[in-house]
Chain A
Amino acid sequence: MNPCYETTSWRPGTLRAYESVGSIGAKYCYLNKVKPREFYNLILELIGEKNRYINRDDFTFDSLDFDFSKLSKLFNEPLPIVKKLSLKAINHLPNLRKQTGYSLASNEDFAYCPICLANGYHSPLHQISWVTNCFIHNEALINVVNKNKSIKNLHTDIKLLSNLYDIWFVESEIWESAKSYDWHLVDNKLIEEKAKLFIQALINTESAITNESTTIGNNIESKLLVLVENLGNSNSVFKAMHQNKSMRLGEPINFICSNMVADTLVKMNSKDFILFMYSRQITCESENAPEWKVALDKLPSILRINHKNCLHEYRKTFEQLEKTRISWCRWNTYVHPPYDMESYDRVPCQRIATLNLLQTILNFEDSLVHNSHGNFYDSRLGGMDYLFQDIEVLNDLITSDLAKKWVGFIVLGQHQIMKKYTPGYVFNTNDEADSRRTSMYVPHDLLEEIIDQLLLALVYVWIWALYETEMNRENLANQQFKPVQYLKLMISQLSPSAILEKTHNGLQLKIGTMVPYKTPDWFINKDDLINHYLNVQNKSRELEVTFDQVLLERMKSANLYQKSTNHLRIYSR
Chain B
Amino acid sequence: MVDAQTLEHTKLSTRLLAGRDFLVKTPQCVSYLKQMHTWLTTGSQGALVHGRPRLGKTSATRWVLKVIPNLIGNFPVVEVPIRDQHIASERAFFQHLLRCIKHREAMKGSAGDKRDRFSEWLIARAKRSPINAAVLFFDEAHLLQDHQYSWLLNIGNELDKNGCRLFCLLVGQPELADKKLKLIEDGMEQIVGRFMVRELEFSGISSQLDLVATLTEYQETIYPIDSDTLFAENFIPLAVRGGFKLNSIGPAMWASFEKLWIHFRIDKEMSIPMHYFTSALIGTLNSLVKHDAHSLVVPQETITDSVNASGYKDSLRILLASLDKYKRTNSRS
Is B66 in contact with A9, judged by CB distance below 8 angstroms?
Answer: no
Distance to closest chain A CB from B214 (angstroms)? 23
Chain B residues, CB < 8 A from A3: 101-102
Whether B37 is near chain A, meaning CB under 8 Å from some CB there, is no
In the complex where A3-B102, A7-B103, A8-B104 touch, is A32 in contact with B120 (Cβ < 8 A)?
A: yes
Whether A33 is near chain B, meaning CB under 8 Å from some CB there, is yes
Q: In the complex the two chains form, what is the Cα distance from A31 to B121 in whole Å?
A: 9
Q: In the complex the two chains form, what is the Cα distance from A7 to B125 in whole Å?
A: 12
> Which residues of B106-153 have CB atoms within 8 Å of chain A's CB atoms?
108-109, 112-114, 116-118, 120-121, 123-125, 127-128
The contact size tier of chain B is 20 to 34
Residue from the list A2, A9, A38 in contact with B120, Cβ < 8 A: A9
Whether B77 is near chain A, meaning CB under 8 Å from some CB there, is yes
Chain A residues, CB < 8 A from B114: 33
Nearest chain B residue, comparing its CB with the CB of A180 = B162
B-contacting 9-mer, from A10-18, A162-170, A459-467, A488-496 = A10-18
In the complex where A3-B101, A38-B105 touch, is A10 in contact with B124 (Cβ < 8 A)?
A: yes
Whether B233 is near chain A, meaning CB under 8 Å from some CB there, is no
Residue with the highest number of chain A CB atoms closer than 10 Å, among B79, B102, B105: B105
6 closest Cβ contacts across the A-B interface?
A33-B113, A9-B120, A181-B162, A9-B121, A11-B124, A32-B105
Is A42 in contact with B128, judged by CB distance below 8 angstroms?
Answer: no
Distance to closest chain A CB from B120 (angstroms)? 4
Is A2 in contact with B113, judged by CB distance below 8 angstroms?
Answer: no
Q: In the complex the two chains form, what is the Cα distance from A485 to B287 in whole Å?
A: 96
In the complex where A1-B62, A1-B66 touch, is A33 in contact with B101 (Cβ < 8 A)?
A: no
Whether A5 is near chain B, meaning CB under 8 Å from some CB there, is yes
Whether A34 is near chain B, meaning CB under 8 Å from some CB there, is yes
Question: Apart from A4-B102, A11-B124, what are 8 other A-B pairs with CB-CB below 8 Å?
Answer: A1-B77, A7-B104, A7-B121, A8-B103, A9-B117, A12-B128, A31-B117, A33-B117
Residue with the highest number of chain B CB atoms closer than 10 Å, among A5, A9, A10, A31: A9
Whether B78 is near chain A, meaning CB under 8 Å from some CB there, is yes
Residue from the list B104, B120, B125 in contact with A42, Cβ < 8 A: B104
B: which residues have CB within 8 A of A?
62, 65-66, 77-79, 100-105, 108-109, 112-114, 116-118, 120-121, 123-125, 127-128, 162
Chain A residues, CB < 8 A from B100: 2
In the complex where A2-B79, A32-B117, A33-B117 touch, is A9 in contact with B108 (Cβ < 8 A)?
A: no
Whether A412 is near chain B, meaning CB under 8 Å from some CB there, is no
Is A13 in contact with B116, judged by CB distance below 8 angstroms?
Answer: no
Chain A residues, CB < 8 A from B117: 9, 31-33
In the complex where A38-B105, A181-B162 touch, is A1 in contact with B120 (Cβ < 8 A)?
A: no
Chain A residues, CB < 8 A from B105: 8-9, 32-34, 38
Chain A residues, CB < 8 A from B66: 1
In the complex where A2-B78, A10-B124, A33-B113 touch, is A38 in contact with B108 (Cβ < 8 A)?
A: yes
Distance to closest chain B CB from A12 (angstroms)? 6
Chain B residues, CB < 8 A from A6: 102-104
Distance to closest chain B CB from A510 (angstroms)? 54
Distance to closest chain B CB from A71 (angstroms)? 12
Residue with the highest number of chain B CB atoms closer than 10 Å, among A8, A34, A42: A8
Residue from the list A33, A74, A181 in contact with B123, Cβ < 8 A: A181
Chain B residues, CB < 8 A from A2: 77-79, 100-102
Is B102 in contact with A5, judged by CB distance below 8 angstroms?
Answer: yes
Is A34 in contact with B109, judged by CB distance below 8 angstroms?
Answer: yes
Residue with the highest number of chain B CB atoms closer than 10 Å, among A12, A33, A34, A38: A33
Distance to closest chain A CB from B112 (angstroms)? 8
Residue from the list A11, A12, A74 in contact with B104, Cβ < 8 A: A74
Chain A residues, CB < 8 A from B127: 181
Distance to closest chain B CB from A112 (angstroms)? 26
In the complex where A2-B78, A33-B117 touch, is A9 in contact with B124 (Cβ < 8 A)?
A: yes
Q: In the complex the two chains form, what is the Cα distance from A3 to B124 in whole Å?
A: 15
Chain A residues, CB < 8 A from B118: 9
Distance to closest chain B CB from A484 (angstroms)? 54
Chain B residues, CB < 8 A from A181: 123, 127, 162
Is B102 in contact with A31, judged by CB distance below 8 angstroms?
Answer: no
Nearest chain B residue, comparing its CB with the CB of A14 = B124
Map CB proximity to B onto A247-290 as digits: 1 under 8 Å, 0 otherwise: 00000000000000000000000000000000000000000000
Q: In the complex the two chains form, what is the Cα distance from A5 to B112 in whole Å?
A: 24
> Which residues of A302-328 have CB atoms within 8 Å of chain B's CB atoms?
none
Q: In the complex the two chains form, what is the Cα distance from A4 to B79 in whole Å?
A: 12
Q: In the complex the two chains form, what is the Cα distance from A9 to B98 in whole Å?
A: 10
Residue with the highest number of chain A CB atoms closer than 10 Å, among B77, B109, B112: B109
Q: List 24 A-B contacts (CB under 8 A).
A: A1-B66, A1-B77, A2-B78, A2-B100, A2-B101, A3-B101, A6-B103, A7-B104, A8-B104, A8-B105, A8-B121, A9-B118, A9-B124, A10-B124, A11-B124, A12-B124, A13-B128, A31-B120, A32-B104, A32-B120, A33-B105, A34-B108, A38-B105, A181-B123
Distance to closest chain A CB from B40 (angstroms)? 16
Q: In the complex the two chains form, what is the Cα distance from A6 to B102 in whole Å?
A: 5
Is A33 in contact with B124, judged by CB distance below 8 angstroms?
Answer: no
Q: In the complex the two chains form, what is the Cα distance from A2 to B162 in whole Å?
A: 23
Residue from the list B65, B103, B162 in contact with A1, Cβ < 8 A: B65
Is A7 in contact with B102, judged by CB distance below 8 angstroms?
Answer: yes
Q: In the complex the two chains form, what is the Cα distance from A542 to B77 in whole Å?
A: 82
Chain B residues, CB < 8 A from A5: 102
> Which residues of A8-56 have CB atoms within 8 Å of chain B's CB atoms?
8-13, 31-34, 38, 42
Is B109 in contact with A7, judged by CB distance below 8 angstroms?
Answer: no
Distance to closest chain A CB from B292 (angstroms)? 36
Distance to closest chain B CB from A45 (angstroms)? 10
Q: In the complex the two chains form, what is the Cα distance from A32 to B104 in whole Å?
A: 9
Q: In the complex the two chains form, what is the Cα distance from A10 to B77 in whole Å?
A: 17
Q: In the complex the two chains form, what is the Cα distance from A38 to B109 in whole Å?
A: 11
Distance to closest chain B CB from A72 (angstroms)? 14
> Which residues of A545-570 have CB atoms within 8 Å of chain B's CB atoms?
none
Q: In the complex the two chains form, what is the Cα distance from A11 to B116 in whole Å?
A: 14
Nearest chain B residue, comparing its CB with the CB of A31 = B120
Q: In the complex the two chains form, what is the Cα distance from A11 to B119 in whole Å?
A: 12
Distance to closest chain B CB from A37 (angstroms)? 10
Q: In the complex the two chains form, what is the Cα distance from A4 to B102 in whole Å?
A: 8
Q: In the complex the two chains form, what is the Cα distance from A7 to B127 in whole Å?
A: 17
Nearest chain A residue, comparing its CB with the CB of B158 = A181
Q: In the complex the two chains form, what is the Cα distance from A34 to B114 in whole Å?
A: 10
Chain A residues, CB < 8 A from B101: 2-3, 7
Distance to closest chain A CB from B308 (angstroms)? 35
Q: In the complex the two chains form, what is the Cα distance from A4 to B100 in whole Å?
A: 10
Q: In the complex the two chains form, what is the Cα distance from A38 to B106 in whole Å?
A: 12
Distance to closest chain A CB from B264 (angstroms)? 37
